[in-house]
Amino acid sequence: MRKTTKDDAPPLREMVRKGVSGAKRLGKTACRVLGLDFLLPPGDPVFFDIELSHRCNLSCRMCWYHGTRGIGDRYGDRELTRREVFDFVDRIAGYKPGIYIGGTEPFVRSDFLPILGHVKSHGIPVSFTTNGLLLDNDKTAELLSIGVDTIYFSIDGDREIHDRERGRGSFEKATAAIRRISEFKKARSCSRPVVRVNMTINNRLLGGVERAICSIRNATNDGFDSLVIHLLRYITPGELSKHREAVLRSLGCRAPGAASHLAPDYEVPDPAALADEIAGIRDLPKISMFPDLGRGDLVHYYSDGPCARKRCIAPLRGVVVKPNGDVLFCPDEWIDDHVLGNIREQDIAEIWKGEKARKFRSALFRVKQFPACKRCSWMYAFG
């Protein structure tokens, strides 16, 4: 047998290193699959969805805050001040997290740009969603100077569909804002902010998805980086009562806000036809889908089929911070009355490892998911 020589050492070391990291990866996957990571103390939070406000400049019909079934603005004058947001960002910077500014239209806060600037002064990746209506030339220039990473624009379809949902003229303003960002980026030869259009699929778009994409492409001069076919976040009356029973049993909560996702007039009557329609456009340039589901899972998503994921791991990754500083695990009001703590009163590390957080994780370890989780974006966002 040939002896190991000095020349063999680096490849051997490399093989051992690869073997160890492969075993670690395998261990992590096994922990995930078996749910064992819920039994270990959680690592640090790596994602914060900070909702600066629930006020808005629009009342879009499908919105779970200000739409037909919306819960309205529950926080009024109790919003975190600029100083409080700055302090919070200072405290979480050490986690090296990603921050998403959620809630309603963020530009309703006059201090939104300084807040973004403060986040970026820590080098933290930041993104937010906007309807684009308040984004003028000056704000656009500042966004580029700050170095914001990603902006999501909500556009519901072509001009007619979008304006019917959000008000006349809103399509023109939103697409003009995208054109402007694209022109500024070209002029400065920079690639940020990445611009993504979120187009949520409901029955209004059936048979016209490609037409809507073309319309947005034309109106923006193809100025977006990607267009995400977003699956509708909704719940049926039957699912809502099962969801409420489950969270009451597991957490002692009533999930009042989940009813804001009841959207019978948006439901897709023929999910198979929708899946075929989407399959036909998936390969178009710059088009993606979220959640990214295969045909069968997509049909299940828009019907009463099973969820494509087995278990939610979001409470091991991050939290939502509400406008008044309340901390929750679930976004979009799916379980809006299990408050883990408040950043005005407690340190985030204490909240993250506190009793309410442990109770939620252990309930989720047992049930794996609640009925509403099937159409919660965080079910799919964390892998």
- Determine contact, residues 336/255, Cβ cutoff 8 Å: yes
The strand order across the sheet containing 126-130 reads 287-290, 226-231, 194-201, 150-154, 126-130, 98-102, 47-51, 318-321, 326-328, 341-342
Intra-chain end-to-end CA distance of the chain, in Å: 46
CB of 368 to ligand SF4, least distance (A): 9
User: CA-to-CA distance for 129 and 99, rounded, in angstroms?
Assistant: 12
Nearer to ligand SF4, 27 or 237 (CB): 237
Contact of 48 with 318, CB cutoff 8 Å: yes
Which amino acid type is present at position 162? H
Residue 99 or 372: the one with the smaller Cβ distance to ligand SF4 is 372
Q: How far is the CB of 188 from ligand SF4 (least distance, A)?
A: 37
Site of interaction with ligand SF4 (CB under 6 A) = 312, 314, 329-330, 334-335, 364, 369-370, 372-373, 376, 378-379
State the minimum distance, in angstroms, from the CB of residue 165 to ligand SF4: 24
Beta strands in the chain (DSSP E): 47-51, 98-102, 126-130, 150-154, 194-201, 226-231, 287-290, 318-321, 326-328, 341-342
- Minimum distance between the CB of residue 49 and ligand SF4, rounded to whole angstroms? 10
- Nearest residue (CB) to ligand SF4, 257 versus 325: 257
Instruction: Work out the number of other CB atoms within 10 angstroms of the CB of residue 277.
Output: 17
Nearest to 370 by CA among 230, 200, 247: 247
CA distance 110 to 53: 11
- The β-bridge relationship of strands 318-321 and 326-328 is antiparallel
Decide whether 74 or 311 has the Cβ nearer to ligand SF4.
311
- Minimum distance of ligand SF4 from residue 320's CB (angstroms): 9
Shortest spacing between CB 378 and ligand SF4, in angstroms: 4
Q: Which is nearer to ligand SF4, 351 or 376 (CB)?
A: 376
**Whose Cβ is closer to ligand SF4: residue 116's or residue 373's?**
373
**Residue 265 beta carbon to ligand SF4: minimum distance, rounded to whole angstroms:** 23
Question: 135 or 363, CB closer to ligand SF4?
Answer: 363
